[in-house]
Amino acid sequence: MYVRSNIPGPNLEQKSFEDQFSGCDCQPPGSGCNSTTCSCMRRFGAAYDEKHRLVDIDPYSDAMRPVYECNGACTCGNDCANRVVQHEVACDLAVFRTPSKGFGVRTLQAVLRGSFVCEYAGEVLTREEACRRATNLTDADCNYILALREHVTADGKDHVITTYVDPMYIGNVGRFVNHSCSPNLFMVPVRVNNDVPHLGLFAIDDIAAGTELCFDYSGVVQRPDAKATNDHITVHVAPTHRKPCHCGSTTCRQFLPFDETLYDN
Ligand SMILES: C[S@@+](CC[C@H](N)C(=O)[O-])C[C@H]1O[C@@H](n2cnc3c(N)ncnc32)[C@H](O)[C@@H]1O
């Protein structure tokens, strides 16, 4: 089943997915939203430039400021520059059959660095449901479950917020985006109406029309000059769970990233 954006999976309340944030009172046309006057942008600054591209991109850093877009309670209107991921798929994409990775996605148009491409949308799962589904997969199945971990500091303490998204049964085109050890997309959690993040995929660099789109499933983007290494891959997992990677990159780590926490309950 197709969804534009994340929806609650079993045992998750619809309420958390409804409008919860208050809005700005900036006025259209052109919204007038900017990081000085707009209450949505004032906290963390402008995330996007006037061409709707992410500013301050550093896909290789594991620290990035949160992205909060204008939302349903704002008066600025749909043309506001602080609304990007909520507009869904942003360029012409085609799903195609790859030689060794199942289906994949390619862009039919050139994509500029920092541009939003599409969301990785699906059912948001509890940890228990994510583990149950992961454990039921056979080695031949595609694994679509993505665990996003956000490290935040609040009240002087460090917290990890984990969001499990599964587009296997219910999702959008993002479910067909394959892994690469030298990706051209990276994932940014973006919040719009509530605390449930949208998993936005953005271009790391300019991408030519016809290119396959991929992101690094580990959530860590290696610098282009990095040497191939398996260091970050947990070695004590059952080898049957580890799938060979066919990304073809010269810095390929040979196996797809594997999240053992989905198998340890
Ligand atoms: C999110 S799905 C991607 C879409 C999938 N290829 C399909 O046909 O629906 C993830 C699955 O795709 C396959 N896959 C993705 N990237 C791959 C890669 N670099 N090498 C081999 N298989 C890959 C694996 O089976 C993985 O579990």
pLDDT digits (tens, 9 = 90+) for 83-133: 999 997 778 999 999 999 999 999 999 999 999 999 999 999 999 999 999
Range among 54-63, 133-142, 190-199 rated most confident = 190-199
For ligand 1, whether the C-beta of 179 sits within 6 Å is: yes
CB-count exposure of residue 255 (10 Å: 0-12, 13-18, 19+):
middle
Nearest atom in ligand 1 to 246's CA: 20
Average pLDDT, the chain: 89
Return the pLDDT at 57: 76
Comparing 173 with 79, which gets the higher pLDDT?
Answer: 173
pLDDT of residue 231: 46
Region 10-14: what's the mean pLDDT?
Answer: 93
The structural domains of the chain, with segments of one domain joined by +, span 7-263
144 lines ligand 1 (CB under 6 A): yes
Distance, CA of 140 to CA of 162 (rounded, Å)? 26
- Rounded to the nearest whole angstrom, what is the distance from the C-alpha of residue 142 to the centroid of ligand 1? 6
H helix or E strand, kind and range, residue 39: helix 39-42
What is d(CA 66, CA 134) in angstroms, rounded to the nearest whole number? 29
221-259 confidence digits (pLDDT tens): 877 777 655 444 444 445 566 899 999 999 999 999 888
Of 178, 240, 242, 259, best ligand 1 pocket probe by most atoms within 8 Å of the beta carbon: 178
Q: Cα(84) to centroid of ligand 1, in Å?
A: 27
Q: Grade residue 178 by pLDDT with cuts at 50, 70 and 90.
A: very high
Round to whole Å and give the CA distance between 201 and 117: 6
The CATH code that applies to domain 7-263 is 2.170.270.10
Q: Which amino acid is at 215?
A: F
Query: How high is the pLDDT of residue 222?
Result: 78
Is the ipTM of this structure higher than 0.90? yes
Query: Does position 143 have pLDDT exceeding 50, yes or no?
Result: yes
Using the predicted structure, report yes or no on whether residue 195 has a pLDDT greater than 70. Answer: yes
